[in-house]
Structure 1
């Protein structure tokens, strides 16, 4: 394990945010190879009771990508969160090389703690090929990210403010955040936030994809809760990601602004479904996500 990774295990969130915090995330995604097809990752010391889902998904994708030729880009992943991860111990990632074809490569990754699987991921990689192209347009009338307040500024004066510490992702709400709409009585059908890595990332395309994967688990289930006027830190809500699917359509940089536009088509049986689209600042559709989460409102 690198010295930077050891430091990352000590603390991810630092006063002031910016590049130092992002460097901790980069270190967390720099897995230690302990054997062929076997990798080990750590969690920041200040994690909540469970490992953040975006972290284990990002680390698992790193493990898969380390076994694939660099010229093949990941185009989709499908994951299941099986058990809550323990942030106090390392996570072992075992990679199964399912297929190496002429155009596509498939990998399956199982994350293990205490001898049990906590997470599984299947990812498909493809070499670049020309073909037909079209894409949905970015929603109209979205203000520029630099004109919007930061997450810490938005959270000031609310109960959520105590938890809005500097993070590796700069996140700015376009619409009113869920902790505001629960008080105003609004029930928005969509949730929109601008995001980007809060600093500069190396020129490693897999790292940029893994950082977006990490960010994709942030705010997505907000689109479910906001429709019912409840929120994590202001109501008694027990929640966890159940599964997560991502499709990457075009190259992008995760340290440049992208719009995360999400909505919830349905919720039932203590589960909520959320869908999201990622757009680059120039309007290019770069990725699509679908997630189902366990949501128990007490």
Structure 2
């Protein structure tokens, strides 16, 4: 399947094996392990299929236990923890080779009105003021490492427009924050659950990088071993992932071989859509200092 958006939609369309049991596949992209955002999105998709349509996901909490094998399907088992009057709770375990590779707990809530407030979106350049993918390739990426160039030149369903690229072009120790405009390249429509699942998918992109900027490194550096350990997300307001969203990120701490990162996803109009937190493994590879 050549179209990246069609490919993304296909991997999110899980096969039902039995009641509360689903199977998902991975794209054939030559990766050694399954992208973490894919496993989050597929597990959330499995949970959603067991929840009344009028209840939307308001939070998820997940742990990565083993790297996923892209060569074989992933089986997702859903446990119906609770169905209350306002909230529904589900737990999903992802299995490969007879072992758990990932677990996710998600909570769903029927829509209700309540208090409203949010922090304001940072005042930064809008996407149409920034270089598009072609302009990035012709200018900034000329000075990037081969790994960085491959990442940003790869055809994918999610489009990026970083506010700045210094973190990927320099070995300097820089402030651990970044702002990236993101969107799905295709028109997804208004289906709230599909938009939520794709939002969860893209939330794992670029996030762990932020913890390495303070050390003059990035996840593309061969001297670094990096992997997601856990992932939490809170969905505040409806998303339309086909429209530009600002993913603003920071890393308050790294210690013990782990880095903590936080993110906020804003709509183009400044609406806070979702909040994200992730801790990841970041440590020198053996023999590196």
Instruction: Classify the TM-score, shorter chain.
Output: over 0.9
SS at match of 1:254: coil
Q: Distance in 1 between matches of 2:221 and 2:255?
A: 22
Instruction: Give unpaired runs (5+ residues) of structure 1.
Output: 1-6, 8-13, 15-19
Aligned twin of 2:128: 146
Contact persistence 1:181–1:226 (CA under 8 A):
no
Deviates more, 1:223-232 or 1:120-129: 223-232
Aligned twin of 1:161: 149
Contact persistence 2:173–2:215 (CA under 8 A):
no
Deviation at 1:176, TM superposition (A): 2.4
Deviation at 1:42, TM superposition (A): 0.3
Please provide the CA RMSD for this pair.
1.4
Aligned counterpart in structure 1 of residue 63 of structure 2, from 80, 84, 88: 80
SS at match of 1:80: strand
Contact persistence 1:278–1:285 (CA under 8 A):
yes
State the number of aligned residues. 278
Q: Distance in 2 between matches of 1:95 and 1:156?
A: 46
SS at match of 1:143: coil
Deviation at 1:199, TM superposition (A): 1.2
Contact persistence 2:189–2:240 (CA under 8 A):
no
Deviates more, 1:36-45 or 1:233-242: 233-242
Deviation at 1:175, TM superposition (A): 2.2
Aligned twin of 1:117: 100
Does structure 1 residue 285 correspond to structure 2 residue 267? Answer: no
Aligned counterpart in structure 2 of residue 192 of structure 1, from 179, 201, 209: 179
Task: After superposition, give the CA deviation of every residue in 1:109-141 in whole Å (9 maximum; x if it has no partner).
Answer: 00000110000000000000011110000012x
Task: After superposition, give the CA deviation of every residue in 1:231-264 in whole Å (9 maximum; x if it has no partner).
Answer: 2324411111000000000011011111000000
Task: After superposition, give the CA deviation of every residue in 1:133-157 in whole Å (9 maximum; x if it has no partner).
Answer: 10000012x1111221235524344
Aligned counterpart in structure 2 of residue 104 of structure 1, from 82, 87, 95: 87
Aligned counterpart in structure 1 of residue 256 of structure 2, from 246, 251, 269: 269
Deviates more, 1:259-268 or 1:159-168: 159-168
Q: Distance in 1 between matches of 2:130 and 2:42?
A: 31
Give the TM-score of the pair, scaled to structure 2: 0.93
Aligned twin of 1:230: 217
SS at match of 2:88: strand
Does structure 1 residue 243 correspond to structure 2 residue 230? Answer: yes
Q: Distance in 2 between matches of 1:269 and 1:186?
A: 19
Aligned twin of 2:112: 129
Contact persistence 1:264–1:275 (CA under 8 A):
yes
Q: Distance in 2 between matches of 1:72 and 1:269?
A: 39
